[in-house]
Copies of this chain bind each other. A is one copy, B any other.
């Protein structure tokens, strides 16, 4: 950590910062830049709270020199985390895991038909929400526990793994009883009470990036889960808030490779939310695989026009099947392959 002083900081200001660093139990090193001096804090290794130093007189800015997270950092653990899943599947290794399904569980016919369609096209896991976080209180909020029951039945029938979202601490336990992977959605990425509970859930956690979260924010949220004892966190890029005047989300493609350089955790992409438009989903899905994503989360619906949520970004099953073929080719071009059920 570097404490950058103002150009008009006094010698007393400098001494005060140095003393504060020592009082915190660390060492310091003066740096003789002009017009403003800087003081390096040594020995902190990324877990120093800068609040106390930032408030001292004469301090202009605090510049981190190490990452604010540790357990999720690649520099502390170079080898990739590979999250083992039932059925011999895994996320984070050579195989690319495709998770597909509708936004919400709507009824038995819909979830069964969609599950079969995505399985037949090659998906190994089913995504579908039983508890839905909706911007509007007037929008469909999900079937709740009944939706979880339907997911359990579909898993038994199809052999697909289940990925579904938990919205709150009480719901997390219900979800963890059914899901193979518990999803924490973008809106809850900084719901720390929920993250801590997820850290004790005994299930892999799929943590989606918040709508304008930096990678630092995302990785610190993952750190909350790991510090509670759960090493199995799978990150997911799902697009960020875009520019005024654009009806598209921004798919932050660079985040995939950037996360891989910062962290040993696997990262998926969600091209459906990262585009918001069915016609853009295939291009974004192909791009994510080409960029090195460890998997995809794709919305597919047997009858998008009748979907209770997100129909406009759901692929038709036939589109999904075509896309899977393209993804196999792209995977091969970069030395990977799509995960397959045994």
Beta-carbon contact of A257 and B280 below 8 Å: yes
Which of B133, B223, B253 touches A287 (beta carbons < 8 Å)? B253
Alpha-carbon distance between A190 and B191 when the two chains are bound, in angstroms:
10
- Are the CB atoms of B254 and A220 closer together than 8 Å? no
With CB as the reference atom, state the residue of chain B lying closest to A35.
Answer: B75
Interchain CA distance A43-B32 in the complex, whole Å: 9
Tell whether, in the assembled complex, residue A305 and residue B52 are in contact, meaning their CB atoms are under 8 Å apart.
Answer: yes
Asked whether, in the complex, the Cβ of B52 is within 8 Å of the Cβ of A65, the reply is no
Identify which of B38, B57, B68, B138 contacts A47 (C-beta below 8 A). B138
Whether a CB of chain B sits under 8 angstroms from the CB of A249 is: yes
> Contact mask A2-17 → B, CB, 8 Å, 1/0?
1010011000000000
Chain A 55-66 interface mask (CB, 8 Å, partner B; 1/0): 111010101011
| Contact among B29, B261, B290, B307 with A51 in the assembled complex (CB-CB below 8 Å) | B307
For residue A247, which residues in chain B have a CB less than 8 angstroms away from its CB?
61, 244
In whole angstroms, how far apart are the Cα atoms of A217 and B134 in the complex?
10
Contact of A309 with B by CB under 8 A = yes
A34: chain B residues at CB < 8 Å are: 42-43, 45, 66
**Which residues of B lie under 8 Å from residue A33 when comparing CB positions?**
1, 40-42, 65-66
Cβ 8 A contact of A261, one of B243, B245, B279, B292 = B279
Smallest CB separation, A79 vs chain B (Å): 14
Residues of B within 8 A of A279 (CB): 257, 261
Interface string of A303-342 (1 = CB under 8 A from B): 0111111111010000000000010111011100000000
Closest residue of B by beta carbon distance from A47:
B138
User: Which one of B61, B69, B192, B333 lies within 8 Å of A329 (CB-CB)?
Assistant: B333
Give A contacts to B, CB under 8 Å.
Answer: 1-2, 4, 7-8, 20, 29, 31-36, 38, 40-43, 45, 47, 49, 51-52, 54-57, 59, 61, 63, 65-66, 68-69, 75-76, 133-140, 167-171, 187-188, 190-194, 211-212, 214-217, 220, 223-224, 227, 240-258, 261, 274-275, 278-280, 283-284, 286-292, 304-312, 314, 326, 328-330, 332-334
8 A-B contacts, Cβ less than 8 Å apart?
A2-B38, A32-B40, A35-B76, A133-B192, A169-B169, A211-B212, A290-B290, A330-B330
